[in-house]
Structure 1
Amino acid sequence: MEARRENRELTDIELTENALAVLRKRYLKKNDRGEPVERPVDMFRRVAANIAEAELKFKPGEEGRALYEEYRGRFLRMMLERRFMPNSPTLMNAGRELQQLSACFVLPVEDSIDGIYDTLKHQAIIHKSGGGTGFAFSRLRPKNDIVRSTMGVSSGPVSFMAIYDASTDKIKQGGTRRGANMGILRVDHPDIEEFITCKNDNDQITNFNISVAVTDAFMEAVERDGEFELVNPRNGEVTKRVGARELFKKIAYGAWLNGEPGVVFIDRINADNPTPQFPIESTNPCSEAHLPPYDSCNLGSINLALFYDEERGDVDWDELRQTVRTAVRFLDNVIEQNNYPLPQIEEMSKGNRRIGLGVMGFADLLIKMGIPYDSEEGLAFAERVMRFIDEEAWEASRGLAAERGVFGHYEGSRHEARGDRVRNATVTTIAPTGTISLIAGCSGGIEPLYAVAFMRRQADMEMPDVNPEFVRVARERGFYSEELMKKVAEQGSVRGLEEVPEDVQRVWVTSHDISPEWHVRMQAAFQKHTSMGISKTINLPNEATVEDVERAYRLAYSLGCKGIAVYRDGSREEQVLSTGKTAKQPEPQPRHVSLAEARNGRPRTLTGVTKKIRTGHGPLYVTMNDDEFGPRECFIVLGKPGGTASAFSDALGRMISLALKHGATPAEISHQLKGIQDGHPAGVGPNAVLSVPDGVAKAMAEHYLVEEDTAEAREELPIIGACPDCGSGLTRQEGCVVCHSCGYSKCG
């Protein structure tokens, strides 16, 4: 009986259809025809065996072989039970030719042409291997500063960011997708204002997240409404004094406008840096891993939802302890097994041995325990759980140090100063869990539920996809109905639904039910017991003001957060140009019949409107002209004359004009073009532009179909573009971009 149970545990894993689809598409080993040649259980066996091989490096002979067999089994069981998942590169690459197991890296950017382009080459090597990259451009001299070797002037940090961005466009991560970058500039750099606004146009520097490295001195100047000095990093000279609050408002305005830039509190990060001999200037692309140059991320997450003890109504702390300690050993082994893309990265990664054990399924666990996310009880529970995980992780690291030795850069570290012999410089961080939370079947990271249910397209039908735990509760409490499930799926939240009991509404909260203050306070609660940082999105309603963003920043700083990223729903709206009397939108036009003969030639003068739409391929100009019968013609301009984009847009405009001439309505044309996606979306929220045809559809709908802007349409869950895998809406969560339909995650 026991043998059969053991065998079942090591061969079976419960996976949803979406999880299986994601594994087949991105994780499982494939043959030359792109067909999977391993099952999910084979993948986990491959990973467990490869990571356990590190045991043989520390203990030779029979003892090493025994440890290998023991931990191969423990690692496998931990993953098959979905209690722990390593980051995506480890699942994809462990035991395969690439063997690149790290999610992200930080590279230095030196103030020289050689340094800048050496790093550009290193970025390309890392992206080719499947990793993301973080950069601080703060060492670069400002724009128009002198370059003595040529007696010319510098073009400044933002110009070199654009070069790195262009390189990213050409190289796919691990041969499958474009890489992700983080660009950081210190708040006291003379080019800070140009940096803050470099992504105001959503078609610029599209492969970077950007954050401002905010100093304590700056925040103090903001509080006292004082002046703040901008300093040339080349020579330390003050180039300008600015009003701190004015600069603070510009940072907040950028975040209010489209979510960029984020903020990292760089002095606080370095105050907690366990290896001060290697100062931290930047972070990984989602800003939770604070790394010195050439260091790497080594991440994994524990599924908290599976540690609920229903009989006791509490966490099974003993099981959680065991999993934490096994996961720490797993991650330390990853450092040994990793095939690093650069020798400098291998030296720094093995010298610091940073690991980042995090969590997922936190919202699921709160719901099982009946604790509202946005409550004092929820904050206290968050602190309790993370304190336990952090303390147990350090205990595991001390045990590994006794067994294997302290980390290479222990001398000069804060750990040495305390006399604390540990194996790893850091042990915890909370990273985006994206697809690994989908594989584990739980909520992402420490975020609240994004929605209780979704409308998911299956076999050309819209079907409600409801959280199974909510369905169970609804059936047990007697308020289940198919009609209610559809209503929940359409709304996303249960707040305000009369059919749902008040206590259930209180516990089943979603990210958009929760005020920004509670989001920040929850992040701060976890930060108290986390070695590095936290990837989390602070959701703001569309009507939020710049002052609301400023308040969120101040609160995050005052509560001890190490960074903050806000997202205001629907904040990347298209820009519209119109002239003269056409600036006022006309009344909706009635349905048009065939008018080709009546029109019989184009009048010499027509009136109309031109709208400018931001697309993933650059600015799009859509001109719509009317004659006495109604909508008559459409001209579409994109890109330079003579190019493919220009030819395509010109052809689309001609076909639309032909259709209008023969009586097609703007509603019919917009309906045909709306929702077409090409994998390069621009903007966020309901106004996200998914492609050039989708942009044209939006321009026509806005100009002609004002009656379609109904309250029902505005209640849809906000999207920020189209999923490149399935075409469904992307959303922002855990400081990342994810698709809830198929499991795609920009962060892996």
Structure 2
Amino acid sequence: MLCGDGLYTSNSRRGALMLQIEDWHPDVWRFINVKKTPGMVENANISVRISDRFMEAVKNDGDWELVFPDTTDPEYDDLWDGNLENWRQHGKPVVHYETVKARQLWNAIIEGAWQAAEPGIVFDERHEKDSNSWYFNPLISTNPCVAGDTLIATNEGLFRAEDLYHTHRPLSVLLDERFGAGSIGSASPVFMTGIKPLVRISTREGYSVRVTPEHRIYSDERGWVAAGELNMGEAIRVRLQVGGFGSNGTVDEGRRLGNMLRSVARLCTHRPDGNLESRLVTMGIRESGPTRFGFNQAALHIAEVAWACDLKKIPAEVLAGCRDMQRGFLQTLFSTPDVGNWPRLRSTSLSLLQEVQQLLLNFGVYSRIDEVCGACAFYELTVSTRSVAQYWGQIDARYDAQVRDLGFDREDEADPVGVDEWVAHVTEVTEDGVEPVYDLTEFQTHSFSANGLVVHNCAEQPLPAWGVCTLGHINLAAFYDQDAQDVDWDGLRATIRMGTRFLDDIVDATPYFFKENFENQQRERRIGLGTMGLGELLIRLQLRYGSPESIAFIDRLYEFIATEAYLYDVELAKEKGAFPAFVPEKYLASGFMQRMPEVVRSAIREHGTRNVTILTQAPTGTVGSMVNTSTGIEPFYALTYYRQSRLGFDEQYVRVAQEWIDAHPEERLPDYFVGAMDLTPEEHVRVQAAIQRWTDSSISKTANAPSSYTIEDTAKLYELAYDLGCKGVTIYRDQSRQEQVLHLSDSAKADSDRKPDTHLLSTGVDVEVYPLPAQVNGRTYRKETPAGTARVVINEVDGSPFEVFMLLGRAGSEVQSFMEALGRIISLYLRSNGNLTARRRLELVADQLKGIGGANQMGFGAGRVLSVVDGIGKLLESHLNQGQGESLAAEPQSVRPLSTDRRTPNATYDLCPQCDAPSLIYEEGCQHCTACGYSKC
């Protein structure tokens, strides 16, 4: 990342998977509800692409047809490009699947967004109509993917992506340990994303993977980098994580299969003179009588495939085999007599050695492959020097003797390949055909191991085919003029000009390793100058985010940014020339250019413009946190956050709030200090619309809504976004994942007169769980914990505790899921029959919870709370000993002045999986940590 004078630009950007479907697609119903099936699609943003015709049908309560092109048409493969109108214009048939009321489908979309914040909505025709490249380069949405033969490392072995796709099962994949997120990550089922062009990334060390050009690979120097943007010699990460073993097989079976494959390799080196099967008999792999190893058919299959295809592959049984089976297989392969004592393997098959490399990674052994030229060219795999001891210790039974022969000692065993060596260096990136491609979503790090290399699953803003967009960000808060209580307009103008020139220079300075990327970017020159710090700037100007006064200011501010950027881009066009695809009248006919001031339009008509687009409001969660300002165009999520130090976690104010508090001690924060949850969703959308008016490309914005927001409110909000000219809208309703549980609870109450459920346990004891009565009395408590204020409701029947509810954080968060589970288990225990009284059971629960420590503690002396569950245990004990609860209806709550006066009351946090701070928030369509900068995207 580079920064200067309020301008920030980054060479890589993380994102989340983007999945979209057209409003006419027959599978739209299934798509809308896909996230209701756990494990199918997680941590991927889903949206429905809404057309103007559909919105007109919604407003008029008209019919809507769900159709798809006739796939039996002879020209389907050649003509179908995803554009239904183009298909129809060619006179091609469509298959009618269903006719529904447009409002019925619209309501289903709204209800899904209300329940779980998705699907979002993208007004795709508005994207195209506003696009400056509408007349020569239509926008599309793409997803990165890998080839079907890519080996993915899972906790059950190594499997090819295509094979995993057909299982439709959620996965557990191996994670690179340098991410610090553990060894295994939960992942979605593998899904096919289409038929796309592929590129092959080759490395000096022999590791190779075939991906789409936009698929990101982890560079040790630059972080996540698209495959098409990798530099020659750039170091990319090789998977550093032991594992990838299945549960089937034995050492002997592995050795037998290894011996067979080794023999086949010798067979295929020299063309046999006679029948293949008779040759196998001669080599001892197959006998004419009883089977020798019991694996004769597998051996014959290996040889047939190798001979017919000139390929040698490791059997799938080994790739998915247990640790012992893989160990036995490798022992046999490496026992060839011509390699000496050093662990190396020679073969004419590069693909075979590349798969062996991946098996070695399972044992924590790093290797490289070299091509040996000569009279008989072959490839040689060699275990690296610092992995030799690891190899002998983990794989080969001759460990002690080999270590002595090679001169290693026991200290070498504890010194495997250093972390800095677990990389491969790119030698070339080449086009490699068009095939079906696949992807998955890993939920912790958004990464997985593909052919031993660390790759990402991510997405982009809508771009044309082979489109590239260079992003930079201006920190608006840096241009606050305290003396004038205004914006430093001259300073902002200078930075806009500098940023525009800088991004334009990057277009020419960037090495493009695919001619399509190079040709497209040279033809259109797409850049994206954006902003962050808007929320902080409004506070300093004493304007409440979302107020009519702020909307007027935002409109003026972003018109200024757009005008200055385009006027300077015209100057660049005078100096360097307009982008090659520039056609004045067509360019000026775009929806965006129709809104620009006449001074800009006249200048463009006369001199042209250097870049096709200039402005993008991208999310800046990581960069914004680094420079301590509000992210993107969002307000601060909350005015307080948690910061970790050697003494634990402490609550701090954002910088602008702390400055005001220091200058005004003992005073309440003014009303223009607001967080995201203090605003109405309509205020969020109106801000988005004001900025969208002056942004020629994509925009990232979330409309936060309270839990009380209804389905009808959500429908009105979406229609407001459409009427105001937004290109899309994403709503996040607090506690949006709790509604289905509440619905089930209501059903349970309506059925409260049923008999107790009886389950027969293994002990032979019948356990009865008594149902809840229609009405119960209870007490509500508040308890400060290291993760925030917990609310605990203890209900009683006839004076005995009967059930416990616990709330901490927002619904759907990890913290609340733990609290809900704990409350359910305690309630189930209290409602079960048995010899112990309910009071005694609650005493036992309190005793078990008290004293459990955690990473974060708070308080001193008798009031010290060691963890969340320790605080709950002490609260339950206090209830039993004193019976002094707190009725929400009867008594006001006693809360700290911090929470009452200054902290954003509606902000909700989750635990960060990286630093454990209760600082994980949902903002800009993604979760990120305000304490350490961790992002789930």
TM-score normalised to structure 2 length: 0.47
CA distance in 1, matches of 2:833, 2:510: 67
For the structure 1 residues 582 and 476, does the alpha-carbon distance in structure 2 shift closer, same or farther, using more than 3 Å as the test?
Answer: same
Letter in 2 for 1:181: L
Letter in 1 for 2:930: H
Matches within 5 A, 1:594-633: 604-608=765-769, 626-629=832-835
Letter in 2 for 1:208: A
For the structure 1 residues 631 and 238, does the alpha-carbon distance in structure 2 shift closer, same or farther, using more than 3 Å as the test?
Answer: farther
2:550 paired residue among 366, 378, 396: 378
For the structure 1 residues 386 and 455, does the alpha-carbon distance in structure 2 shift closer, same or farther, using more than 3 Å as the test?
Answer: same
2:570 paired residue among 398, 413, 421: 398
CA distance in 1, matches of 2:887, 2:908: 15
Tell me which residue corresponds to 1:732.
Answer: 922
Q: Is the 8 A contact 1:182 1:208 kept in 2?
A: yes
Structure 1 position 282 matched with structure 2 position 150:
no
Structure 1 position 719 matched with structure 2 position 905:
no
CA distance in 1, matches of 2:52, 2:487: 38
Tell me which residue corresponds to 2:432.
Answer: none
Tell me which residue corresponds to 1:118.
Answer: none
Tell me which residue corresponds to 1:20.
Answer: none
Tell me which residue corresponds to 2:8.
Answer: 85
Structure 1 position 263 matched with structure 2 position 121:
yes
CA distance in 2, matches of 1:267, 1:570: 32
Tell me which residue corresponds to 1:272.
Answer: 130
Q: Is the 8 A contact 1:450 1:512 kept in 2?
A: yes
1:521 paired residue among 686, 692, 714: 686
Tell me which residue corresponds to 1:365.
Answer: 537
- Displacement after TM superposition at 1:433 (Å): 0.8
Tell me which residue corresponds to 2:108.
Answer: 250
For the structure 1 residues 627 and 663, does the alpha-carbon distance in structure 2 shift closer, same or farther, using more than 3 Å as the test?
Answer: farther
CA distance in 1, matches of 2:576, 2:722: 38
Q: Select between 565-574 and 544-553 the one with higher mean Cα deviation.
A: 565-574
TM-score normalised to structure 1 length: 0.59
Q: Deviations over 1:239-289 (max 9, x none)?
A: 321111111111111111111111111111110111122222337999993
Letter in 1 for 2:680: S
> What is the number of equivalent residue pairs in this alignment?
496
For the structure 1 residues 473 and 432, does the alpha-carbon distance in structure 2 shift closer, same or farther, using more than 3 Å as the test?
Answer: same
For the structure 1 residues 316 and 661, does the alpha-carbon distance in structure 2 shift closer, same or farther, using more than 3 Å as the test?
Answer: closer
CA distance in 1, matches of 2:693, 2:906: 35
Partner SS, residue 671 of structure 2: helix
Structure 1 position 552 matched with structure 2 position 710:
no
Structure 2 unaligned spans of 5+ = 71-92, 144-456, 590-603, 754-761, 772-804, 806-810, 857-867
2:44 paired residue among 208, 232, 255: 208
- Displacement after TM superposition at 1:675 (Å): 9.5
Matches within 5 A, 1:33-48: none
Tell me which residue corresponds to 1:41.
Answer: none
CA distance in 2, matches of 1:186, 1:325: 39
For the structure 1 residues 288 and 343, does the alpha-carbon distance in structure 2 shift closer, same or farther, using more than 3 Å as the test?
Answer: closer
Tell me which residue corresponds to 2:28.
Answer: 192
Partner SS, residue 512 of structure 1: helix
CA distance in 1, matches of 2:572, 2:851: 61
For the structure 1 residues 228 and 575, does the alpha-carbon distance in structure 2 shift closer, same or farther, using more than 3 Å as the test?
Answer: closer
Partner SS, residue 506 of structure 1: coil
Tell me which residue corresponds to 2:796.
Answer: none
Q: Is the 8 A contact 1:287 1:535 kept in 2?
A: no
Structure 1 position 507 matched with structure 2 position 672:
yes
Letter in 1 for 2:553: F
Structure 1 position 744 matched with structure 2 position 602:
no
Q: Deviations over 1:464-514 (max 9, x none)?
A: 30133323323434xx14xxxxxxxxxxxxxxxxx41xxx53211211111
Q: Is the 8 A contact 2:476 2:537 kept in 1?
A: yes
- Displacement after TM superposition at 1:395 (Å): 1.8
Structure 1 position 352 matched with structure 2 position 520:
no
CA distance in 2, matches of 1:413, 1:725: 54
User: Which has more strand, going by share of residues?
Assistant: 2
Partner SS, residue 394 of structure 1: helix
Letter in 1 for 2:650: M
- Displacement after TM superposition at 1:533 (Å): 2.5
Q: Deviations over 1:72-92 (max 9, x none)?
A: xxxxxxx244x01113xx1xx
Letter in 2 for 1:210: I
Matches within 5 A, 1:1-80: 79-80=3-4
CA distance in 1, matches of 2:518, 2:43: 26
Structure 1 position 463 matched with structure 2 position 322:
no
Tell me which residue corresponds to 2:479.
Answer: 307
- Displacement after TM superposition at 1:438 (Å): 1.6
CA distance in 1, matches of 2:639, 2:842: 46
CA distance in 2, matches of 1:365, 1:615: 30
For the structure 1 residues 238 and 378, does the alpha-carbon distance in structure 2 shift closer, same or farther, using more than 3 Å as the test?
Answer: same
Q: Deviations over 1:606-662 (max 9, x none)?
A: 134999x9999x999997554525599xxxxxxxxxxxxxxxxxxxxxxxxxxx999
Q: Is the 8 A contact 1:275 1:412 kept in 2?
A: no
CA distance in 2, matches of 1:733, 1:516: 14
Structure 1 position 323 matched with structure 2 position 495:
yes
- Displacement after TM superposition at 1:413 (Å): 8.4
Q: Select between 403-412 and 369-378 the one with higher mean Cα deviation.
A: 403-412
CA distance in 1, matches of 2:105, 2:622: 37
CA distance in 1, matches of 2:515, 2:847: 59
2:58 paired residue among 219, 222, 229: 222
CA distance in 2, matches of 1:384, 1:464: 36
CA distance in 1, matches of 2:848, 2:703: 38
Q: Deviations over 1:696-717 (max 9, x none)?
A: x99xx9xx99x89988799673
Q: Deviations over 1:520-561 (max 9, x none)?
A: 111111111111122011011011111111111000000111
Q: CA RMSD in A?
A: 4.3
Q: Is the 8 A contact 1:286 1:432 kept in 2?
A: no
CA distance in 1, matches of 2:555, 2:692: 9
Q: Deviations over 1:73-120 (max 9, x none)?
A: xxxxxx244x01113xx1xxxxxxxxxx5x4xxxxxxxxxxxxxxxxx
For the structure 1 residues 561 and 287, does the alpha-carbon distance in structure 2 shift closer, same or farther, using more than 3 Å as the test?
Answer: farther
Matches within 5 A, 1:642-657: none
For the structure 1 residues 556 and 661, does the alpha-carbon distance in structure 2 shift closer, same or farther, using more than 3 Å as the test?
Answer: closer
CA distance in 1, matches of 2:48, 2:124: 9
1:665 paired residue among 834, 845, 855: 845
Letter in 2 for 1:731: I
For the structure 1 residues 201 and 360, does the alpha-carbon distance in structure 2 shift closer, same or farther, using more than 3 Å as the test?
Answer: same
Q: Deviations over 1:554-587 (max 9, x none)?
A: 00000111110000012123966899899879xx
1:427 paired residue among 614, 623, 634: 614
Partner SS, residue 374 of structure 1: coil
Letter in 2 for 1:385: L
For the structure 1 residues 473 and 512, does the alpha-carbon distance in structure 2 shift closer, same or farther, using more than 3 Å as the test?
Answer: same
User: Which has more helix, going by share of residues?
Assistant: 1
Partner SS, residue 250 of structure 1: helix
CA distance in 1, matches of 2:38, 2:919: 18
CA distance in 2, matches of 1:407, 1:554: 37
Q: Select between 571-580 and 516-525 the one with higher mean Cα deviation.
A: 571-580
Q: Is the 8 A contact 1:432 1:736 kept in 2?
A: no
